[in-house]
C-alpha cells in the first residue's frame, strides 16, 4: 500500500491474450489468484458475469481490481479464443512499486499479449493548485498544452463560479490514442486530504509502444540490480511530463501566439517542480484519419467526377438561360450542395460532428440543420 498521498505510477492496464499451450482464461485466473495470495493483496470471491464488448463470459474480483473477459474457442461471442485482462486503478493503489513491477513482468512473461490501454497517474497534495486553479489558467490563455488543439473543463459551478463537487479538465479528444485529464482525487474518492491527480491514457499503437518501452526500462534496471519500483515511478513521471507538455503562454496574453510558440514557451514553475527527471522520448504518433476526413476523401475520389460534371452542366444551362457568369456559377454550386445536404444521412452527420472539437460540435450541427431547411425550401421553390 502506498505510504504517501503523493504518489505516481501505472493506473490502468488492459491486456489481450490468445489461447495457446499453457495459456487459457482458466489458467490465468488461477495465476492471478495465486499472485494475490502470495503478495497478501486484497481479493474476494470471484463473481462470474457476462462479458463486455461481445465476450461470452467474465470473472470479476472486485476487491482486487481485476476483471477477466473471454470467449473460448468454438464458443459463441466476439473474438473466440481470446481473453482480456483489465487491471484497474484499485489494484495499483494496493501494491507498492516492486510488487507492481513483479506483476507487470509476470504478465509480459505470460504472453504473447497485446496491450490495448495503459494509463499513468501522479497524485499531488495541494490546497492552492487544485483543478479549478488550472481551469482558470487555461481559460485565461495563460497555459496551453503542446499538440492539443482543445481542452474541456467539466463540473458543476456554483453561483460564485467554484466547483464544490469537483471538476475535471480534459486535454485532447477522448477517442484519440493519447488523452489526458486532471481532477481532484479527494473529491472523487471522498476521503483523504486535498490532492490533484494528473493522468495520461494511451490506447492502440501508442499503448503497445509504451508497454514495450516500460519493460525495456524494467529489464535494464533488473540487470543493474537497482530498484524496479523507483524505475517504475520515474518512468511514470517521465511519461506524464512527455504526454502532457503544459507550457506557460502568459507572455502573449492579448496577442496572437507566434507560429513556433511551443518551441520557446517554458513549463510553468508550478508544473516543472513536480518532476525530477526529463520527459521520456515518445515515438511520434502516426497521423490518423478521422472518419469524417476519410469519408470526405472517399466521396471526392469516387463521386467527385459526377458532382463536378453535373455542376458544369448546370452552369452551362444557366448561362444559356441568360445568367451572368457569377450568378450561373453560384446557382450551380448551391444546387449541388443542396442535393448533397438533402441526401445526407442525419445519423452519419451526427457521428461526424461528434469527432469535432467539443467547442465546434453544436455549432456545426446547428448550421447543418439550417442548411437542410434552406435546401428544402429551395427544392420546393423549384417545383413551384
Give strand pairing partners of 35.
Answer: none
The pLDDT tens digits of the residues spanning 62-96 come to: 999 999 999 998 888 778 999 999 999 999 999 99
The pLDDT tens digits of the residues spanning 271-313 come to: 999 998 777 676 655 544 467 777 777 787 778 888 899 999 9
The residue assigned the cell 499503448 is 207
More confident residue, 227 or 292: 227
Query: At CA 360, angle to CA 153 and CA 199, rounded to 5?
Result: 30
Count of CB atoms within 10 A of residue 304's CB? 11
Q: Which grid coordinates belong to 200?
A: 495520461
Which pTM value belongs to this model?
0.72
Q: Which grid coordinates belong to 291?
A: 472518419
User: In this predicted structure, what is the pLDDT of residue 384?
Assistant: 63
Count of CB atoms within 10 A of residue 376's CB? 13
Count of CB atoms within 10 A of residue 1's CB? 9
Between CA 66 and CA 61 the distance in angstroms is 5
What's the pLDDT band for 1 if we cut at 50, 70, 90? very low
Count of CB atoms within 10 A of residue 10's CB? 25
User: Which ranges constitute the DSSP H helices of the chain?
Assistant: 25-38, 89-94, 97-110, 131-139, 185-189, 204-224, 228-243, 261-264, 269-272, 291-320, 325-343, 346-354, 358-383
- Asked if 319 and 325 touch (Cβ cutoff 8 Å), the reply is yes
- Asked if 229 and 97 touch (Cβ cutoff 8 Å), the reply is yes
Q: What percent of the chain has pLDDT over 90?
A: 62
User: In this predicted structure, what is the pLDDT of residue 290?
Assistant: 60
The pLDDT tens digits of the residues spanning 210-225 come to: 999 999 999 999 888 8
- Asked if 146 and 262 touch (Cβ cutoff 8 Å), the reply is yes
Count of CB atoms within 10 A of residue 133's CB? 12
Between CA 189 and CA 13 the distance in angstroms is 20
Q: 65 in the Ramachandran plot: left (φ > 0), alpha (ψ -120 to 50) or beta?
A: left
User: In this predicted structure, what is the pLDDT of residue 283?
Assistant: 62
User: In this predicted structure, what is the pLDDT of residue 292?
Assistant: 74
The residue assigned the cell 507550457 is 247
Give strand pairing partners of 48.
Answer: 59
- Average pLDDT taken over every residue of the chain: 89
23-27, 140-144, 247-251, 372-376: least confidently modelled range: 372-376
The residue assigned the cell 463521386 is 303
Instruction: Tell me which long-range contacts 53-61 makes (C-beta under 8 A, separation of at least 24).
Output: 53/78, 53/84, 54/78, 54/79, 55/79, 55/82, 55/83, 55/84, 57/25, 59/25, 59/29, 61/32, 61/33, 61/36
Q: Hey, CA dihedral for 107, 113, 119, 122, is it positive or negative? A: positive
User: In this predicted structure, what is the pLDDT of residue 75?
Assistant: 85
What's the pLDDT band for 319 if we cut at 50, 70, 90? very high
Q: What is the DSSP letter of 53?
A: T
Count of CB atoms within 10 A of residue 369's CB? 13
Between CA 323 and CA 336 the distance in angstroms is 17
Give me the count of residues in the chain.
384
The residue assigned the cell 450542395 is 337
Amino acid at each position: 500500500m502506498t505510504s504517501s498521498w503523493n504518489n505516481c505510477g501505472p493506473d490502468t492496464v488492459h491486456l489481450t491474450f490468445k489461447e495457446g499451450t499453457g495459456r487459457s482464461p482458466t489458467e490465468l485466473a488461477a495465476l492471478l489468484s495465486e499472485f494475490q495470495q502470495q503478495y497478501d493483496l486484497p481479493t474476494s470471491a470471484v463473481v462470474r458475469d457476462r462479458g463486455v464488448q461481445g465476450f461470452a463470459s467474465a470473472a470479476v474480483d472486485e476487491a482486487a481490481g481485476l476483471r477477466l473477459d473471454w470467449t473460448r474457442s468454438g464458443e459463441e461471442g466476439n473474438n473466440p479464443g481470446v481473453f482480456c485482462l483489465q487491471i484497474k486503478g484499485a489494484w495499483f493503489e494496493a501494491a507498492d512499486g516492486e510488487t507492481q513491477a513483479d506483476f507487470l513482468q509476470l504478465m509480459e512473461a505470460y504472453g504473447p499479449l497485446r496491450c490495448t490501454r495503459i494509463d499513468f497517474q501522479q497524485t499531488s497534495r495541494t490546497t492552492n493548485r487544485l483543478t479549478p486553479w488550472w481551469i482558470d489558467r487555461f481559460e485565461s490563455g495563460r497555459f496551453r498544452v503542446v499538440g492539443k488543439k482543445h481542452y474541456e473543463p467539466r463540473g458543476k459551478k456554483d453561483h460564485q463560479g467554484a466547483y464544490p463537487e469537483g471538476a475535471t479538465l480534459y486535454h485532447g479528444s477522448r477517442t484519440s490514442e493519447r488523452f489526458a485529464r486532471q481532477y481532484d482525487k479527494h473529491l472523487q474518492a471522498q476521503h483523504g486530504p486535498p490532492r490533484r491527480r494528473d493522468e495520461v491514457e494511451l490506447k492502440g499503437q501508442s499503448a503497445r509502444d509504451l508497454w514495450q518501452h516500460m519493460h525495456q526500462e524494467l529489464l535494464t534496471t533488473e540487470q543493474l540490480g537497482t530498484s524496479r519500483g523507483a524505475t517504475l515511478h520515474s518512468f511514470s513521471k517521465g511519461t506524464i511530463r512527455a504526454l502532457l507538455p503544459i507550457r506557460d503562454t502568459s507572455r502573449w496574453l492579448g496577442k496572437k501566439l507566434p507560429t513556433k510558440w511551443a518551441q520557446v514557451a517554458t513549463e510553468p514553475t508550478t508544473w516543472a517542480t513536480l518532476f525530477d527527471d526529463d520527459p521520456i522520448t515518445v515515438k511520434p504518433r502516426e497521423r490518423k484519419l478521422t472518419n469524417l476526413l476519410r469519408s470526405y476523401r472517399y466521396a471526392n475520389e469516387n463521386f467527385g467526377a459526377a458532382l463536378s460534371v453535373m455542376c458544369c452542366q448546370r452552369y452551362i444551362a444557366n448561362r444559356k438561360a441568360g445568367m451572368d457568369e457569377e450568378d450561373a456559377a453560384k446557382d450551380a454550386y448551391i444546387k449541388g450542395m443542396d442535393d448533397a445536404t438533402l441526401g445526407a444521412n442525419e445519423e452519419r452527420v451526427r457521428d461526424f460532428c461528434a469527432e469535432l472539437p467539443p467547442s465546434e460540435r453544436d455549432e456545426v450541427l446547428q448550421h447543418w440543420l439550417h442548411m437542410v431547411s434552406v435546401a428544402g425550401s429551395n427544392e420546393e421553390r423549384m417545383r413551384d
